[in-house]
Structure 1
Amino acid sequence: MADGEETGQLKEIFQKWDRDGSGDISVAELTRVLTKLNPQLDEAGCQKMFSQMDVNSDGSVQYGEFINWLTGKDGSYQGAKAAIMMDQKRAGGKGADAARKAKLRAKYAKLDKNGDGKLDFVEVYDFLQKRYPNMTLPDLRFLYNCADKSHDGILDFYELLDVMMSVPAQKADPKAKAAKPTQHPLSMAIMRKDARDDIEAALAKENQDHEEWLKKVNEMSEMMQGFKDEEKRHKEFRDAHAKVMREHYAKTGQLAI
Structure 2
Amino acid sequence: MSQLSEEEIADYQEAFNTFDTDGSGSISRSELRSLLTTIGQKRNAKGLQDLLEEADVDKSGTISFPEFLTLIDRLVKNKSSTTNFSKDELASLKESFDHVDRDSNGSINTTELRSLLRLVGEKFDKAFVNSTLQEFDTNKDQQIDFDEFLVMANKLIKNKSN
TM-score range for the pair, normalised by the shorter chain length? 0.5 to 0.7
Partner residue, 1:85: none
Structure 1 residue 190 corresponds to structure 2 residue 142: no
Q: 1:144 to 1:19 in 2, by over 3 A?
A: farther
Q: 1:68 to 1:207 in 2, by over 3 A?
A: closer
Structure 1 residue 37 corresponds to structure 2 residue 39: yes
Q: 1:39 to 1:69 in 2, by over 3 A?
A: closer
For residues 31-74 of structure 1, give each alpha carbon's deviation from its aligned partner in whole angstroms, at most 9, with x where no partner exists. 122124326532222222111110011101111211233235xx
Q: 1:12 to 1:199 in 2, by over 3 A?
A: closer
TM normalised by structure 1 equals 0.36
Alignment match of 1:13 (pick from 12, 15, 30) = 15
* Aligned equivalents of 2:137, 2:153: Cα separation in 1: 20
Q: 1:56 to 1:188 in 2, by over 3 A?
A: farther
* Aligned equivalents of 1:3, 1:64: Cα separation in 2: 14
* Aligned equivalents of 1:16, 1:34: Cα separation in 2: 13
Structure 1 residue 206 corresponds to structure 2 residue 161: no
* Aligned equivalents of 1:36, 1:77: Cα separation in 2: 18
Alignment match of 1:24 (pick from 23, 26, 42) = 26
Partner residue, 2:71: 69
* Aligned equivalents of 2:77, 2:139: Cα separation in 1: 7
Which of the pair has more CA radius of gyration? 1
Partner residue, 1:78: 78
Q: 1:144 to 1:56 in 2, by over 3 A?
A: farther
Q: What percent of counterpart residues are identical?
A: 21
Question: CA contact under 8 A between 2:136 and 2:144: conserved in structure 1?
Answer: no
Query: What is the letter of the counterpart of residue 60 of structure 1?
Result: T
* Aligned equivalents of 1:43, 1:9: Cα separation in 2: 28
Q: 1:153 to 1:62 in 2, by over 3 A?
A: same
Aligned ranges for residues 165-244 of structure 1 at < 5 Å?
A: 184-185=138-139, 188-190=144-146, 202-210=154-162
- RMSD, matched Cα: 4.3
Query: What is the letter of the counterpart of residue 136 of structure 1?
Result: T
Q: 1:45 to 1:77 in 2, by over 3 A?
A: farther
Question: CA contact under 8 A between 1:53 and 1:69: conserved in structure 2?
Answer: yes
Aligned pair count reads 119
TM normalised by structure 2 equals 0.53
Partner residue, 1:56: 58
* Aligned equivalents of 1:200, 1:66: Cα separation in 2: 27
* Aligned equivalents of 2:44, 2:11: Cα separation in 1: 26
Q: 1:16 to 1:43 in 2, by over 3 A?
A: same
